[in-house]
Structure 1
Amino acid sequence: MPKVIFIDPEGIEHRVDATVGQSLMRAAVDSQVPGIEAMCGGNCICATCHAYIEDERLATLAPPDATERDMLECTSEPRANSRLCCQVPMTEALDGLIVRVAASQH
């Protein structure tokens, strides 16, 4: 089972087991990672699962689609490595992925 390291806004690491095919958001919510609010339940309409992918594997992810890009523009601190966790499916290749939860989800 692949693992993801979420670093919450306080700098605390949360090592999470993720199921292949599961979104990073669902893995974080199921493991109660602080800062991932996921208010829309994974429908890409709220940006409350905003995080920064801190790994060289960012380039291996499918790029954000137009809806995700629009939602990311609504976040308080969008960056080049910003993603909505609900839009990133977990794969075996992402084992060990490091994800920093954005300090503000609004």
Structure 2
Amino acid sequence: MPSVIYIHPNGSRQTLDVPAGQSVMQAAVSRGIEEILGECGGNAMCATCHVYVEPDQLDRLPPMGDDEDALLDGAAADRLPNSRLSCQIKVTGELDGLVVRLPDRQV
């Protein structure tokens, strides 16, 4: 099972085994990672699942869609070049070891 590493704002790391096909957001919410809210349930409508993907891992992800791009402009935490919505990152075997940093706020 692929693993995803979540880095909290305080620097602590949490590694989750995530079933293939589940989103980075779904895994975090179902396991109580408080920094990801996912208020819209993963429908790419709210930007409360904003994360920062490690820059050297961005090329492992599918391209960002127009809706995701627009929503990131309204994210509560600063948008950076490595910002993504975790609801739009579906875990696959190729993403094993993905590292995402959690912003200090979602709203």
TM-score, normalized by the shorter chain, greater than 0.5: yes
Aligned residues: 106
SS at match of 1:68: helix
Query: Which ranges in structure 1 are unaligned for 5 or more consecutive residues?
Result: none
TM-score of the two chains, using structure 2 as the length reference: 0.93
* Deviation (angstroms), 1:29: 0.9
* Deviation (angstroms), 1:60: 2.1
Q: Establish whether residue 87 from structure 1 lines up as the match of residue 88 from structure 2.
A: yes
- Of residues 55-64 and 66-75 in structure 1, the stretch that sits farther from structure 2 once superposed is 55-64
After TM superposition, the structure 1 = structure 2 runs for residues 69-88 of structure 1, keeping only pairs within 5 Å, are: 69-75=69-75, 76-88=77-89
AA of the residue aligned to 1:22: Q
Q: Which runs of 4+ in 1 moved over 3 A?
A: none
* Deviation (angstroms), 1:85: 0.2
AA of the residue aligned to 1:96: G
Structure 2 distance, partners of 1:46, 1:19, is 24
Structure 2 distance, partners of 1:55, 1:21, is 22
Q: Establish whether residue 101 from structure 1 lines up as the match of residue 88 from structure 2.
A: no
What is the CA RMSD across the aligned residues, in angstroms? Answer: 1.1
Percent identity over paired residues: 43
Per the alignment, residue 6 of structure 1 pairs with 6
TM-score of the two chains, using structure 1 as the length reference: 0.94
* Deviation (angstroms), 1:55: 5.0
SS at match of 1:59: helix
